[in-house]
Every structure is written in structure tokens, then in C-alpha cells.
Amino acid sequence: MAFPAHRPPAGRRHYHRPPGIYWDDFHTESAWLRDQGRLHLPAMDLGAVLVLKGECLLHPEALASERTLPTLTVTAEGGGSATLRPEATGAWELRVSVAAGRGTTLRLALGGVVLSNFLAWMGRITGIGALQRFRAQRKNRQLRLRTLETAGGEVVFDFSRRDAPFSADLHRKHFKPAINIVGFLSADLGIGESARCMVRAADAAGIETALVPLRLACRNRDGDPTYAARLAQDNPHPVNVIHVDPPATRDLVHHHGRAFFRGRRNVGFFAWELTDFPDAWTPYLDFYDEIWCPSEFTRKAIEPKSPVPVLHFPHAISFQRLEEDVPSLRRRLGLPGEGFLFLSIFDLNSYAARKNPAAAIEAFRRSGLRPPEAGLVVKLQNAALNPGDHAALQATVSGLQGVTLIEETLSRADTYALEAACDCLVSLHRSEGFGLAVAECMYLGRPVIATDWSATAEYLDASNGCPVGYRLVTLDRNHGPYARGATWAEADIDDAAASMQRLARDSSLASRLGAAGRRTIEGRFSPSVVGAMYRRRLENLG
């Protein structure tokens, strides 16, 4: 499948080794030009004027004809131009106007060196002995570059630093990162929450954002108003981050137009739940300049097949914890008022075979826990779109005491309320690309019982939860994109049932693990922590 070329992948600009600029031993604290050079400046607010400083020195080995000093013209793309015509040796400075706040390139050109450059070229081409001395270009070396500064005296380039003349610290200080977050920003589904998590992190890090709704069809309800007032159709910033399932990439240009992607760095934010990224999906990677993933598990699956960088940025987990007490939450949500409540929560559109709610139900059955001591809340959505899976689930809970089935789609606020109203999440998934429900319940201080494999194993262990043993199995048939022959985990149901017994009967253990889980999420996945990761990447891209 061929994708339209929106732009070539963006390579690193030569901030650290400016093209056309050289160093020598004639004057070690400065640099020189052969004839033309370029200084690339990333987008940052340096003011309307930049000052190039240097000095002119007579080279002791220069012939009389070489002792006339070159001229220097500096031209700023999108700005002004200035020319230096030195009449004597000594310090000089050249002021040039630039477009404030924009990335630009300063083009430097020596004048009065046509003859000396020609003689140097002839000496190199012909090997004539009398011309070899001109190859040193001593006339050019007499005009020296020391610094490029702002009008306020902040150094942008320091040419005494041969290894890295560009000031990265100044870039961090003045760079104003900005991204377009493109996704199902108001939809009630995991990939929509993925985009909303990014908004939280960007806000916490002071990253300017444009929130652009995906124009693709979405099977889930468009019912989350969190960022409704901020939604926009334009994407004015230099980086698009697109939260989408990889196959939907083929429809992006059709629905958003080529101009939406042209001239921008396009980033795909993908979650994938198996160890091997599908070969059929690898052509979609060509559309992007890089891929971001919410877990190392996903990154390691995609990276071996990706022609572009693949980076790990976890979801930012943070939301308003309800002040409402648990008994009132349970009354409001129609849950049993007493007993230790386990929760299994999933979207049937995410494939029941992967989410594996039947294992959580069977673990509750084997635990022997029953009302009033304990109960199990099974929260699902999109039953009408998955009638077969829905019927199988109903058959699984039939006749089992203590099970409460919730089938309607809840708002995010009510979903958080449900997670807070229950005492423990049970996620015996066969694989997760991140595990939003697991991280959310840990953030709420609820202990979690989860399969000890894939992305959730990166942040849940025996110190902060109840990891469940498993065996790896080979899929014997296709489950949506999860193809026959792939591998995922089969949780040990007896191990999970034993954890359910321990937590229901040991309140101190449940409290201790819940508190440890909360500390893990707050420490590793807070918006400020994740936002700082985004900011560092954007600073590097410049």
C-alpha cells in the first residue's frame, strides 16, 4: 500500500556542527568560513535582532595579495540582511533582524575571496606546486567568528566550542514546545482516553496544544465533554501526534487532507498487545516520522519492524478523586452495600478473548467467596455490537451468586466512581498494551489482581499488587487482529482465586498494596512526569 508523501522524515539540523564553518590552529577560540556557511536556529523566542561577533586578524603567513580582508554578508531567512566591510583588524559585530519566535537559518557569505578560492581549487585539481600554498586559504581565515548572541547578550553559538557551539541550554530556556493532539478526544473508548491522557501531560508541562478531533468513524459513544471547549479543526503546530489504530492510517489523508500533514513531523501513538507487530501493518509505519507507545512491551514489538524511531511514553494517570464515601457511591451506582467487591471492567470492542473476563468470573467462582462476604461487579460495554461474546458472558455468570452485571456505557466520571466504589480490580487479561483500568484503580489506591505479563507487568508486581502466574499459549484461531499462531498469556485461575481470598479476608494487606500501587502511579505516571518526557523530546526535535 502506497501512501502519499506528506514530507520526508525530518533529519537533525546541523545545530552542533554548522555546515561551511571550520576550525583551525591559527586562532583556537574562533571559527572561519571557506566561502559560505549556515547557522540553523530552531523555533524559540530570541527577539527580533541577533548579533554576530568576531574579529579580523592578519595571518602571519599571508602574502600581500591575501592581506586584504574579506567582506561578510549575513542573511536571515524571513528576516533582514547585513554586510560587514572591515577596513582594519580588530573586533567587529554585525546586527541582523530575524523573525521573532520562528525557526530560521542565517546564511553567511564571504566576499572578496573569489580569486583566492579559485587558486585553492586549481591547486587541488592540478597539483601544481606553486599553487599549493593557496589551498590553506589564509585570506579567508583572517575573518573570524566568535559568537552569535541575542540583543540582550545571551550566547546562541559559541565558536570557541568546537564540539558543540550551539547552546542547548539557551534552546531549552527559550524553546516553546507545541503539538497538535489528534484523536477521538471525546469518545468513550481506550484510544480516546489515550489522547486525553496526553492532553493532561502536555498541560502539566506547559506545552501549547491544539486538540483536533479525528474525522474517522468511531464505533463508541461520543460522550466525554472534558475538552469539548478546546476542540479545534486547525493544526497550527509543527508536530502532529495522532492517536489511532495503525490500519486507520490509510484513511487519514482522505478525511483530513494532505495539507494537514505536509510540513509537520507526524507521530503515530500506537498501543499493540502482542510481542510481534503484524507484518500486514508495517506499511502504515511509512506514513509517520516516528512512533510513540505507552509501554516498553509495545515499543519492543514495533521497533524491529519500524523504519522510523519508536519511543516509549506512558499514559499520564490523574483525575479528580471523589470525596463521596464508598457507601454512598455504591448506593448511587446500584451496587451491593456490603462486602468486599471485586471489579472486572472491559469493552467488548477490545475483544473478549484478549480481555478475558470469563477468567475473572471463574476465579471468583473458585474462590468460594459469596455474599455477604464478597461480590463481583462485571462492567462491560458495546454488548449490542458483540452479541456472541455478550451471550457467552451471560452464560458464564448464570447461577453464580454475588455477581452484578452493568452493561450501559458510563461517563468517565462514573467509571472512576465505579472503580472507587469497588475494593479490588481483577484483570486476568491475556495481554495489554498499557492497561488503563489497572493503572486507574492503582491510582485510586485499590489493590489489583492482574496477569503478570505484557505491559501491566512493567508497573505492577508483588510489592504493589497481586501479579498472577501464567503460561504462554499459541492462538489456535484469529481474534480480530490477533492472528492464529501468535502468543499470549493464559492466567492461572487458581492463583487468582487465592489472591481474591487473601484480599477479601485481610483488610490490612488490601490497604497496604493499594497504598503502594497509588504511590507507583503517582510517582511514575503523573502528568508532570510524563509531560516532562514529552517536553524533552520536543526540545530535541526543536
- Classify residue 254 by burial, with Cβ atoms within 10 Å: 0-12, 13-18, 19+: exposed
Residue 209 confidence class, pLDDT cut points 50, 70, 90: very high
**Whether residue 10 has pLDDT greater than 50:** no
Q: Give pLDDT tens digits for 264-321.
A: 999 999 999 999 999 999 999 999 999 999 999 999 999 999 999 999 999 999 999 9
**Whether residue 126 has pLDDT greater than 80:** yes
For residue 13, what pLDDT is reported? 52
User: Which whole number is the average pLDDT over 61-69?
Assistant: 87
C-alpha grid cell for residue 480?
A: 480480530
For residue 316, what pLDDT is reported? 98
d(CA 303, CA 292): 10
User: Which whole number is the average pLDDT over 466-492?
Assistant: 96
The C-alpha angle 436, 442, 446, rounded to 5 degrees, equals 125
d(CA 180, CA 444): 30
For residue 8, what pLDDT is reported? 46
How many other C-beta atoms are found inside a 10 Å radius of the C-beta of residue 162? 13
d(CA 127, CA 349): 74
For residue 99, what pLDDT is reported? 84
Residue 16 confidence class, pLDDT cut points 50, 70, 90: low
**Strand-strand pairing, 104-111 and 448-451:** unpaired
Q: Give pLDDT tens digits for 422-461.
A: 999 999 999 999 999 999 999 999 999 999 999 999 999 9
For residue 65, what pLDDT is reported? 80
User: Which whole number is the average pLDDT over 129-153?
Assistant: 94
Which residues fall within 8 angstroms of residue 460, CB to CB, at 6 or more apart? 438, 442, 448, 450, 452, 467, 517, 520
Q: Give pLDDT tens digits for 177-197.
A: 999 999 999 998 889 999 999
Mean pLDDT of the chain: 92
User: Which whole number is the average pLDDT over 236-241?
Assistant: 95
For residue 9, what pLDDT is reported? 45
Helix axes 326-333, 412-421, angle to 10 degrees: 120
For the entire predicted model, the pTM comes to 0.82
Residue 101 confidence class, pLDDT cut points 50, 70, 90: low
C-alpha grid cell for residue 502?
A: 487473601
**Spatial CA neighbour of 67 closest among 57, 75, 77, 54:** 57
C-alpha grid cell for residue 199?
A: 492532553
Q: Enter the DSSP assignment of 401.
A: T
For residue 11, what pLDDT is reported? 45
**Spatial CA neighbour of 97 closest among 147, 43, 50:** 50
**Whether residue 100 has pLDDT greater than 60:** yes
Of 542 and 411, more confident: 411
**Whether residue 218 has pLDDT greater than 90:** no
For residue 164, what pLDDT is reported? 87
Give percent above pLDDT 70 in the chain.
Answer: 97
For residue 114, what pLDDT is reported? 92
Sheet with 290-293, strands from edge to edge, namely 208-213, 178-183, 239-243, 265-269, 290-293, 310-312
Which residues fall within 8 angstroms of residue 144, CB to CB, at 6 or more apart? 27, 30, 31, 32, 54, 55, 56, 57
**Whether residue 330 has pLDDT greater than 90:** yes
Give percent above pLDDT 90 in the chain.
Answer: 78
Between 194-198, 199-203, 222-226, 504-508, the lowest mean confidence (pLDDT) is in 222-226
